[in-house]
Structure 1
Amino acid sequence: MKFLAILILLLNILSAQNNIGIDSLQNNTGIKNNLSELRTELDDIFNDPNFSNAFWGVSIQSLKTGETFYKLNPDKLFKPASLIKLFTSSNALLLLGSRYQYRTEFFIDGNISNGILNGNLFIIGSGDPTIMIEDTFEHWLDSLNHKGIFSIKGNIIIDDRNFRQDKYGAGWLAEYMEDWFAPTTGAFCLNKNAIEIKIEPTKIHQSAQISFNTEFIENYEVINHVITSTKNSAVEVKINRIGNNIIDLIGKIPVTTEPYSVYIPVNNASQYFLNSFYEFLLDEGVEITGNAVKLDEYDKNYDFNNTIPLFTHKSEQLTKIVSEINKKSDNLLAEQLLKTIGFEIYGYGSTSNGIKAVKELKQGMGINPNNFIMADGSGLSSYNLLTPKQVVNLLAYMYRSSEFDSFYKSLAIAGYDGTLLDRMKGTKAENNFRGKSSFLENTRGLAGYIKSADGEPLALALIVNNFLVPSQLANYIQDKVCNRLANFTRN
């Protein structure tokens, strides 16, 4: 009976979603459009009995007049989940500028003769989260060759001292240990600090074949319990982490399925980067007589005045990185960016320094930093707390800032891209609402900008905590509100 009741509830939710563009989310031209009628309708929407044991927080404001369209617990604290990325990304644009680029610097301490570097190659990490093995390493090899270096009589040495390396953020759940979306952060990032494990079917009832995207997989031991199953079965792969270094893959993969990938976060980002680059150079035929070492291990008091600049690798501009954060809700980019704010403002890349800089800027946004808890840059932390009104204050501040264009373009477009690709389709909110969605256990949020039928710009934040129904129903209510706002007219 319990299973039947759950099934019926899910079917009802799916039915409601499928009819969004037809009934309750329909572009209804017969709606009464004065503000009091709108508020009454929104009251009815948020009084949905499915959320009787949950808490809604809502703030909707006109950016044209400053008028509050609607509010519900606007000054109560809520867990925001990924809405915290709006604070990380917007403050990065304001403090660093949309044209900011990460700079990974290369130095040598010897001469180059006959294709040989007679000395060490140094790499200073800047926290660049966009470095990839296939693209970036190949570009660096070309740069070394262009400088006349084909062999190295010395060590590969990295300097990661400008950033704090953290395995987990404050308030992250222990179960995130085995999840790719909760990566290690620090001065060096490679392939989003995740190791790809590719799983390929073999013969039915036999073990699947596994391979890795890099030769260096730290000190992990991977146990393969994935079996090749019949063609009509589904892919089912689960990652179990035993202690810190043992990964147990359990499940099945159909014999006719294309290779399937899972990802695990690395334990030591700097070491993963260093060893991967060292192995890459060897594989590409670069002879290296020395070792792969961190500067602290080589010489803590090394004087860089004795080195010679070789070249500098620059990342894409911040506008592209912020777009990845807000459209795709990329946790690694958000965490790295918060540390980068700390590094650029206070000289050391730590989460606490980044938060300190963000809180100082909030005062100019009408946000009391003492009534706001920011524990990380991505929203994974259960410690984060903010109010819907604070989110709308941020959106209103950005609307009038010189960085609004970059910020606005970074947001997901309803029914078109990012995390909002499949939402609000067939309604007036489609391709109108731009914003950020958020999701954690028992938490769902939506915040951003929308224009009414009159073209009046609105900022909104809709957050619900502590619900027990499927999250699709929370999405449905948020989308319904957005469509109602898109149809609103004062005339």
Structure 2
Amino acid sequence: MKVSKTHFKAIHILLIACMLTACSSLKNRKIEKNLTERLNLNGFDNHFTGFMVYAPESQDTLMALNAHKFFTPASNTKIFTLYTALKILGDSIPSLRYYALKDTVYFQGTGYPGSLHPAFNDSSIVQFLQSFQNLVYVPANFPEGRFGPGWAWEDFDSAFSPERSSLPLYGNVLTYIRHSEPEVVPEYFTDSISTVALPGRRLEHKNTFYFNPGGRDSLTVPFKTGIKLTADLLEIAIKKPITIKEQFPEGKKTLLYGNTPADSLYKQLMEESDNFIAEQLLLTSSAALTDTLSSRLARDFVLDTYLSELEDHPRWVDGSGLSRYNLFTPASMIHVLEKLYKEFGTDRILTIFPAGGKEGTLEDWYGTTGGPYVFAKSGTLGNTYCLSGYMITSSGRFLLFSFMNNHFMESSSQLKPRIEVILEAMRDSY
């Protein structure tokens, strides 16, 4: 059979493409073998490790080690929380649900975390409520408890573990600032500070706090939330009395939106690994969907809709990752990382994620003198360290990775240098 010049040229191009693909695959196999050897040589063989590297432009999985095994993710859970908030809340986050009737306003919380928060100073709900003569607080339907399932309850007085609530104020924490005359924020608790030493910084079921008068550092301690306390704190801020009632009058309710830019909350969530903001964003997402504030409702909605195609259905029980009940796979992390950057843009997502060597929990790790090459979320619990996010390689490739480690016996500070070696090898190899 005679082959035309056109057909011959097409076959020639196809053969070259196959040869290039084969060379590329061979190179990737060599890199994968090299990285696997590094994992074994660098002490990753005595605990449970999952590692997946994915090139989204070519849709190639470059490496997969236990990629579909389930791990305790710690704060890598916040990657799913961020996706939930971006999909449901977007750029406008509601702070109150209200019904106005002449000079009276009935209002309830939406779980919005920014109100009077020390990092944001968002007083928008105070300014709004001050414009009414009569204020009626209607507590929201919040069926879940102050803590998430599987949390360490003994951490009740730790700064990283504020209680969840439907109308949080001041980040649900007391801040004790040491001056010649100590400052207490909110001032409401000034008379609640004990001069008698307690077992911790606060009584578990009462807002009685203890700060060592000889200490040097300012401290942040969660306070015990409650409906009456919320009304009291607002009364002081607004300088008007507040009545508490169980329900709204008949009529259409309206949403008030907070003044804190959404991306400021999302950046605080990821960069500082803020557990309080994580939990409250799920509650606010739920409030945007229904009249009920339920973390579970928001999680189930996202898994059933936006993430219904997930191959490895996770066990997802909170927004922060404080719970050891959470179980995710590296492949699931990669799936959501890909959706984040495709749906919201690389520039925005890399701004929200911590940059290696520069910011937040990655400030001391995964950086270079030439600038960050890793943009990722870390997750740390006892015997657990996970890191999932994005990498820009030396050749300019954009990669997604998830590196999950469970059940190691050393400290995470001993593990991180070995992880850094692997990530540097990835950066310089691809």
- In 2, Cα distance between equivalents of 1:44 and 1:59: 15
Amino acid at match of 1:95: I
Superposition deviation, residue 68 in structure 1: 1.8
Q: Report SS of the residue matched to 1:329.
A: coil
- In 2, Cα distance between equivalents of 1:172 and 1:443: 15
Superposition deviation, residue 37 in structure 1: 3.2
Residues 58-110 of structure 1, C-alpha deviations (whole Å, 9 max, x = no match): 1111112222221211111100000010011112212333x222242565545
Amino acid at match of 1:177: F
Superposition deviation, residue 332 in structure 1: 1.2
Moved more, 378-387 or 412-421: 412-421
Give the structure 2 partner of residue 213 of structure 1: 185
Give the structure 1 partner of residue 205 of structure 2: 244
Give the structure 2 partner of residue 330 of structure 1: 274
Cα contact 1:165–1:184 (8 A) shared by 2: no
Cα contact 1:93–1:403 (8 A) shared by 2: no
Q: Provide closer, same or farther for how the CA distance between residues 469 and 292 of structure 1 changes in structure 2, counting only shifts above 3 A.
A: same
Structure 1: state its 5+ residue gaps: 1-32, 112-119, 202-208, 227-236, 283-287
Correspondence 1:356 to 2:300? yes
- In 2, Cα distance between equivalents of 1:458 and 1:67: 10
Superposition deviation, residue 200 in structure 1: 5.0
Residues 326-352 of structure 1, C-alpha deviations (whole Å, 9 max, x = no match): 121111111111122222234422011
Q: Report SS of the residue matched to 1:239.
A: coil
Map 1:121-140 → 2, pairs under 5 A = 121-132=105-116, 135-137=121-123
Give the structure 2 partner of residue 22 of structure 1: none
Map 1:367-378 → 2, pairs under 5 A = 367-369=311-313, 372-378=314-320
Residues 260-317 of structure 1, C-alpha deviations (whole Å, 9 max, x = no match): 32222222254433211212334xxxxx5xx534322xxx4x415499x8x9453334
- In 2, Cα distance between equivalents of 1:357 and 1:306: 24
Give the structure 1 partner of residue 245 of structure 2: 295
Cα contact 2:278–2:319 (8 A) shared by 1: yes
Cα contact 1:74–1:389 (8 A) shared by 2: yes
Which of 311, 314, 320 is the aligned partner of 2:258?
314
Cα contact 1:165–1:187 (8 A) shared by 2: no
Give the structure 2 partner of residue 30 of structure 1: none
Q: Provide closer, same or farther for how the CA distance between residues 306 and 382 of structure 1 changes in structure 2, counting only shifts above 3 A.
A: closer
Q: Provide closer, same or farther for how the CA distance between residues 43 and 238 of structure 1 changes in structure 2, counting only shifts above 3 A.
A: farther
Correspondence 1:180 to 2:159? yes
- In 2, Cα distance between equivalents of 1:458 and 1:418: 21
Moved more, 261-270 or 351-360: 261-270
Give the structure 2 partner of residue 423 of structure 1: 365
Moved more, 402-411 or 414-423: 402-411
Cα contact 1:217–1:272 (8 A) shared by 2: no
Q: Report SS of the residue matched to 2:414.
A: helix
- In 1, Cα distance between equivalents of 2:46 and 2:102: 68
Correspondence 1:391 to 2:333? yes
- In 2, Cα distance between equivalents of 1:140 and 1:340: 15
- In 2, Cα distance between equivalents of 1:427 and 1:487: 15
Superposition deviation, residue 484 in structure 1: 1.4
4+ residue runs over 6 A deviation: none
Map 1:96-135 → 2, pairs under 5 A = 96-97=89-90, 99-104=91-96, 109=101, 111=103, 120-132=104-116, 135=121
Q: Report SS of the residue matched to 1:178.
A: coil
Moved more, 167-176 or 334-343: 334-343
Which of 204, 223, 240 is the aligned partner of 1:266?
223
Correspondence 1:85 to 2:84? no
Superposition deviation, residue 141 in structure 1: 5.7
Residues 211-242 of structure 1, C-alpha deviations (whole Å, 9 max, x = no match): 52123239x9543357xxxxxxxxxx983444
Cα contact 2:70–2:327 (8 A) shared by 1: yes
Q: Provide closer, same or farther for how the CA distance between residues 454 and 50 of structure 1 changes in structure 2, counting only shifts above 3 A.
A: closer
TM-score, length-scaled by structure 2: 0.83
Amino acid at match of 1:478: I
- In 2, Cα distance between equivalents of 1:267 and 1:248: 11
Identity over aligned pairs, percent: 21
Which of 187, 190, 194 is the aligned partner of 1:223?
194
Give the structure 1 partner of residue 10 of structure 2: none
Q: Report SS of the residue matched to 1:412.
A: coil
Q: Provide closer, same or farther for how the CA distance between residues 141 and 125 of structure 1 changes in structure 2, counting only shifts above 3 A.
A: closer
Aligned length: 403
Q: Report SS of the residue matched to 1:275.
A: helix
Q: Provide closer, same or farther for how the CA distance between residues 92 and 248 of structure 1 changes in structure 2, counting only shifts above 3 A.
A: closer
Amino acid at match of 2:110: S
Amino acid at match of 2:264: K
Q: Report SS of the residue matched to 1:216.
A: helix
RMSD after superposition? 3.1
Q: Provide closer, same or farther for how the CA distance between residues 104 and 345 of structure 1 changes in structure 2, counting only shifts above 3 A.
A: closer
- In 2, Cα distance between equivalents of 1:86 and 1:306: 34
Residues 185-215 of structure 1, C-alpha deviations (whole Å, 9 max, x = no match): 23211111111123457xxxxxxx7552123
Give the structure 2 partner of residue 444 of structure 1: 385
Give the structure 2 partner of residue 401 of structure 1: 343
Amino acid at match of 2:242: A
Superposition deviation, residue 162 in structure 1: 4.4
- In 2, Cα distance between equivalents of 1:407 and 1:46: 29
Cα contact 2:354–2:361 (8 A) shared by 1: yes
Give the structure 1 partner of residue 406 of structure 2: 465
Moved more, 75-84 or 392-401: 392-401
Correspondence 1:455 to 2:405? no
Cα contact 1:343–1:353 (8 A) shared by 2: no
Q: Report SS of the residue matched to 1:217.
A: helix
Q: Provide closer, same or farther for how the CA distance between residues 483 and 252 of structure 1 changes in structure 2, counting only shifts above 3 A.
A: farther
